[in-house]
């Protein structure tokens, strides 16, 4: 019975806090009204949250036009703690130190090849540097999220096709080193969570990360979908050509062997006899009206559309967000993508290019740590941005 009371209290605290965040500013009476709790319960929960400095009182004692006292408003206090988010790519670490509402205090990128051996030393050095520059807050660092480009199952790295971090026990080693909670999550999942939490105020989103591979993060009815083996959204390994190129996953003809940015760079550099290529080379070629590159991007866009079509139909989503440096720099290719998704089923679905680019993943990292610290699920700061 005591346990039940405690659980109910926790649940009510989560509901009250979520209501404060998603309203930006709200009185105790309005909270009671919105969530259907009595005023005494709301007041008691609010007092606890004030004690923990998670929320603040604003507008104290000011009077309204009618001459009566205006009720005291409550607001979330994003500066009560800080959070760290790191995105570990195969040739970079993008990272941020942020307040609890996703406002970055520091955001930087280190360009370096990541291996099993240098991964942990890089993380420790970056984090120790950030800690030295961190402003003083009541709770200090409330958590750190690390984005991995591969399959991550309950903080355990399972498969990383674009670099080799397989079986590296990042979670255990970092948990032993740092005192704050650590979270490991798939990069595309975090990107979707970042878009949902901080930028898109809707309940069903598919965010497609196109880099060296292609991964999708699926938010369905406000929840991130993981699946039984944390493999939900691995659209890069859905089969486009059954007798196609062999993929590191063991299948033939996987979508990412054709439509990922890496596949585009490979075709491009092969055609022009270059050692390697990146999105800037593609942008230059397009701005010079290069016929081959235009045709290449049109063809790759059509292949990508097949994967998007299949995923959109499986999950009946409201919004598809494409996160790709090529699309970000060449937004005109969104039109051929949209034209290729013009069936009875897909034409109503919005497709946009992510404006936060690589940082969307960091926002997702912030979202994951903050949700755990505050013990709230599916909160949407997007509603007040």
Binding positions for Zn ion, rule: CB under 5 A: 237, 247, 249, 251, 254
Nearest distance in Å: CB 251, Zn ion: 5
* Neighbour-count burial for 39-73, b at 16+ CB within 10 Å, e otherwise: eebbeebbeebeeeebbbeeeeeeeeeeeeeeeeb
For 67, list phi and psi in degrees, rounded to 5.
95, -15
Nearest distance in Å: CB 88, Zn ion: 21
Nearest distance in Å: CB 244, Zn ion: 10
DSSP assignment, residue 381? G
State the Cα–Cα distance between residues 230 and 73, nearest whole angstrom: 41
Nearer to Zn ion, 53 or 251 (CB): 251
Nearer to Zn ion, 175 or 251 (CB): 251
Report residue 43 as tokens.
Answer: 């007041």
Nearer to Zn ion, 83 or 209 (CB): 209
Nearer to Zn ion, 294 or 310 (CB): 310
Distance of CA 146 to the CA centre of its chain: 11
Nearer to Zn ion, 34 or 251 (CB): 251
Nearest distance in Å: CB 85, Zn ion: 27
**DSSP per-residue letters across 76-120:** E-GGG-EEEEEEE-SSEEEEEEEETTS-EEEEEEEE----TTTHH
Q: Checking DSSP bridges between strand 319-323 and strand 205-210, what pairing results, if any?
A: parallel
Nearest distance in Å: CB 204, Zn ion: 26
Nearest distance in Å: CB 241, Zn ion: 12
Quickly count: other Cβ atoms within 10 Å of residue 102's Cβ. Answer: 25
Nearer to Zn ion, 214 or 368 (CB): 214
Are 48 and 91 in contact by the 8 Å Cβ rule? The answer is no
């Amino acid at each position: 019975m005591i346990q039940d009371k405690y659980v109910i209290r926790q649940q009510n605290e989560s509901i009250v806090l979520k209501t404060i965040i998603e309203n930006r500013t709200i009185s105790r009476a309005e909270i009671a009204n919105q969530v259907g709790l009595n005023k005494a319960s709301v007041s008691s929960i609010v007092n606890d949250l004030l004690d923990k400095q998670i929320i603040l009182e604003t507008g104290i004692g000011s009077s309204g036009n009618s001459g009566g006292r205006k009720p005291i408003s409550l607001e979330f206090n994003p500066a009560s703690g800080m959070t760290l988010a790191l995105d570990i790519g195969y040739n970079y670490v993008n990272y941020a130190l942020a307040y609890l509402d996703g406002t970055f205090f520091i955001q930087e990128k280190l360009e370096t090849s990541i291996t099993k051996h240098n991964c942990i030393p890089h993380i420790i050095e970056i984090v120790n540097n950030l800690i030295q520059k961190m402003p003083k807050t009541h709770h200090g660092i409330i958590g750190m999220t690390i984005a991995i480009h591969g399959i991550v199952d309950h903080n355990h790295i399972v498969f990383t096709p674009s670099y080799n971090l397989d079986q590296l026990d990042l979670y255990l080693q970092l948990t032993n080193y740092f005192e704050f909670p650590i979270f490991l999550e798939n990069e595309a999942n975090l990107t979707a969570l970042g878009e949902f939490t901080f930028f898109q105020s809707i309940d069903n989103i598919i965010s497609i990360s196109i880099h060296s591979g292609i991964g999708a993060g699926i938010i369905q009815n406000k929840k991130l979908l993981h699946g039984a083996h944390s493999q939900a959204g691995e659209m890069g390994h859905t089969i486009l050509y059954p007798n196609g190129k062999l993929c590191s996953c063991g299948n033939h003809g996987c979508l990412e062997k054709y439509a990922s940015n890496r596949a585009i760079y490979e075709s491009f550099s092969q055609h022009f006899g270059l050692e390697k290529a990146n999105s800037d080379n593609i942008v230059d070629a397009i701005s010079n009206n290069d016929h081959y590159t235009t045709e290449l991007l049109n063809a790759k866009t059509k292949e990508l559309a097949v994967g998007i079509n299949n995923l959109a139909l499986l999950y009946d989503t409201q919004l598809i967000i494409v996160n790709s440096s090529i699309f970000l720099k060449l937004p005109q290719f969104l039109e051929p993508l949209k034209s290729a998704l013009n069936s009875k089923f897909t034409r109503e679905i919005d497709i946009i290019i992510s404006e936060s680019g690589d940082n969307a993943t960091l926002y997702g990292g912030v979202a994951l740590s903050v949700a755990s610290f505050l013990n709230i699920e599916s909160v949407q700061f997007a509603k007040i941005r």
